Structure 1
């Protein structure tokens, strides 16, 4: 289904597997989207928690790229093959179709050129998985409208002067970007403030209002 024509999508739910309660909500959704044994690149992989989850639960051939030296060291300490790199500059070095999935988890809003980064994800991988905090959530809107201040929430935890986020976007903004780059949306999910996927196929504007996070499975159009 193309982003241009999609008014609603059946949500990507959480996998029914034991022992996942400690995993981050968006990580559990991503786990349900990745096939066993796939080649995976996790861009902005942080401490490697998602990569480790995919390795342990799906047996993926996983690689990671992480900007911070602390994150790289944490990954290496857990036996994860991760290199230090910048999504804005280093993705251009990867060949086409090098991976089955390229994942950008809670990172696109911190990149300098989100459109270019998304285009590289779709070029490098057969599919791309992108998750991000939704700046259109009603609590964010209320914070701006009522208090007149940049919001601090569970999914946007940093103050405006400390946040790494430089391109806040909403779910509808991201759908528009998918349309712009010609990406096809295969699966999508909005997670509520409790981290639970919304269980019904709803119009984008409702997801945009009540979804605290978005998770999208994409492929080239």
Structure 2
């Protein structure tokens, strides 16, 4: 749970990657907790986009600039390289146009920060071996009501980046708020990537 001065461990890692006084676009911004913290502690100029109008209202109430929008239609309303950082946290696996949004993020931003549940996490594999789709802290839905449609592991995301000329600048894998260094694809439940366009 985020409070006025603290963030959840996953959001704190994202915040640590954001430079002070930078321009930030948070896609699927939820209640605006990340942008609110960044505004207060790093003096960023931030904007949020969320499909849920109730989340947009919560953002505005918290003093966060946010608009209602459908990420599936792209980011045409934003100019090229308008932002320093574009964030997509635990949302990419729920999108139909996964490749398009990743490319668009790096059109409108200098860097992108993408996080997603790692389907290769050992508990997910174990539940599959037992004959069930995984349900966990990072995958909290049953198979029949999940919004998640594109599961991937670390190698899958990195291959998508390579296909689109995208460079992985930094990768962190976590489980229960702690960084996983040994066997990250097996022992980590949540993946974090900081990426940018390959230099010309």
> Would you call these one fold, judging by a TM-score over 0.5?
yes
- Which residue does 1:198 correspond to in 2? 180
Which secondary structure does the structure 2 equivalent of 1:150 belong to? Answer: coil
Using the alignment, how far apart are the partners of 2:137 and 2:4 within structure 1?
20
- Which residue does 2:64 correspond to in 1? 80
* Mapped contact 1:20–1:28 kept (Cα < 8 A): no
Q: Which one of 17, 31, 36 corresponds to residue 15 of structure 2?
A: 31
Provide the aligned C-alpha RMSD in A.
1.6
Q: Which runs of 5+ in 1 are unaligned?
A: 1-18, 201-205
Using the alignment, how far apart are the partners of 1:38 and 1:51 within structure 2?
12
Using the alignment, how far apart are the partners of 1:187 and 1:53 within structure 2?
22
Matched positions, count: 196
Q: Which one of 136, 144, 149 corresponds to residue 132 of structure 2?
A: 149
TM-score scaled by structure 2? 0.93
Q: Which structure 1 residue ranges, 4+ long, deviate > 4 Å from structure 2?
A: 19-22
Using the alignment, how far apart are the partners of 1:137 and 1:159 within structure 2?
17
| 1:93 positional shift | 2.8
Using the alignment, how far apart are the partners of 2:98 and 2:77 within structure 1?
17
The answer as to 2:29 corresponding to 1:45 is yes
Greater length-normalized contact order (CA 8 Å, ≥ 6 residues apart): 1
- Which residue does 2:191 correspond to in 1? 214
Matches within 5 A, 1:83-98: 83-98=67-82
Using the alignment, how far apart are the partners of 1:52 and 1:199 within structure 2?
30
Using the alignment, how far apart are the partners of 1:87 and 1:139 within structure 2?
30
Alpha-carbon spacing, 1:21–1:169, altered in 2? closer, same or farther (3 Å) = farther
Alpha-carbon spacing, 1:207–1:86, altered in 2? closer, same or farther (3 Å) = same
Q: Which stretch has the larger CA shift, 129-138 or 49-58? A: 49-58
| 1:22 positional shift | 4.7
Using the alignment, how far apart are the partners of 2:173 and 2:128 within structure 1?
21
Deviations 1:53-87 (A, max 9, x none): 21122111000100011111111111111000011
Which secondary structure does the structure 2 equivalent of 1:92 belong to? Answer: coil
* Mapped contact 2:96–2:149 kept (Cα < 8 A): yes
* Mapped contact 1:36–1:58 kept (Cα < 8 A): yes
